[in-house]
Structure 1
Amino acid sequence: MDQAKNFFKSRKDIAIRLLYTIFFFIVFEFLKTIQIFLSCVQYIWVLVTLNHLEPLRTLTDRLAVLSYRILRYISLNENKKPFPFTEFPESVDVSESVRFSDKD
């Protein structure tokens, strides 16, 4: 009898994980759209001003980290649920500036 309970409990846990995975897959698709839009805005900004918009760089970096965490979760490589079940991820190092010419 205990074996049957464990069997159904583990199947229930897998089903719950699958529901979270579906939820995070939808969130991931939404994040991709936002990232594409914000990247276009950043390119337009750079074309006009020849400078990066730092707050936007930081935001897109944090969204990229969140997307990475979501991908790890939905591919069963991580058990920790991403944001909104944990804190919003911090930015990785965005101090490196992207250059558009070979001149230093």
Structure 2
Amino acid sequence: MTNDTVSTTVDRGAILKRFLVTLVCMIFFEVTGFIIQLAVLFQYGYLLIAKKRSEPLRRFTNSLSHYGYRLMRYNTLNDNARPFPFARFPEDAECEEPAKQVLFK
């Protein structure tokens, strides 16, 4: 087993500042997850009643899931770009395209 830890030359003040930003991002991640759960329940309710999906909600949850991904990358020290609210919210063009057809098998 190799030891792949890398030491840093950054002072402890900068580390503490990033840690505080990470705490804020962790709160946003929890709120994001809750909103996605509500959207999933609404989407299935809409699908059962109208027999079609809500495309605006689908696009919104696609952006929201991409945002959650960016939050986790920042929180786990795998990305240096600060996510929203410290930067702009991801737009549709930045997100992976949703599936064209939803299958129920």
TM-score (normalizing by structure 2): 0.83
2:102 alignment counterpart:
98
Q: Which amino acid aligns with 1:10?
A: D
1:23 alignment counterpart:
24
Tell me how large the CA RMSD over aligned residues is: 1.5
| Ranges in structure 2 where 5+ consecutive residues have no aligned partner | 1-8
Equivalent residue pairs, number: 94
Q: Give every structure 1 segment of 4 or more consecutive aligned residues whose post-TM-superposition deviation is greater than 6 Å.
A: none
The offset of 1:90, in angstroms, is: 2.1
In the TM superposition, 1:24-39 aligns within 5 A as 24-39=25-40
Q: Which amino acid aligns with 1:81?
A: R
> Which protein has the bigger helix share?
1
| 1:11-62 deviation digits (Å, cap 9, x = unpaired) | 0000000000000001100111100000000000011111110000000000
Q: Please say which structure displays the higher CA radius of gyration.
A: 1
Paired-residue identity, %: 36
